[in-house]
Amino acid sequence: MQVLLIREAPGWLAVDKPAGVVVVPARDEDPEGSLWRTLERERGERLWVVHRIDRETSGVLLLARTEEAHRALSRAFEQGRVEKEYLAFTAGIPEARSVTAPLVVGRRGVVKVVPPGTAGAKTSRTDLAVVRRWTHPEPTALVRCRPHTGRQHQIRVHLASVGAPLLGDPLYGSGPTELAPRLALHAARIVFPRPEGRGTEELSAPMPPDLVALQRALELGDRVPRNLP
% of the chain with per-residue pLDDT over 90: 83
Residue 98 lies in a domain: yes
CATH of the domain at 178: 3.30.2350.10
pLDDT value of residue 224 = 53
* pLDDT band for position 124 (cuts 50, 70, 90): very high
Strand partners, 84: 190
Residue 76 lies in a domain: yes
In angstroms, the CA 147 to CA 94 distance is 15
Cis peptide bond N-terminal to 170, omega within 30: no
- Catalytic residues, by residue number, are 54
pLDDT value of residue 227 = 44
Strand partners, 6: none
For residue range 38-91, list pLDDT tens digits in order: 999 999 999 999 999 999 999 999 999 999 999 999 999 999 999 999 999 999
pLDDT value of residue 107 = 82
> Which residue has better confidence, 122 or 2?
122
* Contacts made by residues 220-229, CB under 8 angstroms, sequence distance 24+: 221/134, 221/136, 221/137, 222/134, 222/135, 222/136, 224/136, 224/137, 226/136
* pLDDT band for position 228 (cuts 50, 70, 90): very low
pLDDT value of residue 106 = 86
pLDDT value of residue 229 = 35
In angstroms, the CA 224 to CA 206 distance is 28
Residue 228 lies in a domain: no
> C-alpha angle 190/41/10, rounded to 5°?
45
Centroid of chain to Cα 75: 20
What residues make up the domain containing 202?
4-222
Length of the chain: 229
CB atoms within 10 A of CB 201: 17
pTM as predicted: 0.93
Give the chain's mean pLDDT.
93
> C-alpha angle 108/179/165, rounded to 5°?
45
pLDDT value of residue 223 = 65
Residue 45 lies in a domain: yes
For residue range 140-171, list pLDDT tens digits in order: 999 999 999 999 999 999 999 999 999 999 99
Helices (H) and strands (E) in the chain, counts: 4, 12
Residue 229 lies in a domain: no
User: Please, which residues have CB within 8 angstroms of residue 60's CB and are 6 or more apart in sequence?
Assistant: 6, 14, 15, 16, 17, 187, 188, 189, 190, 203, 204, 205
Q: What's the number of domains the chain is made of? A: 1
Residue 227 lies in a domain: no
* pLDDT band for position 29 (cuts 50, 70, 90): confident
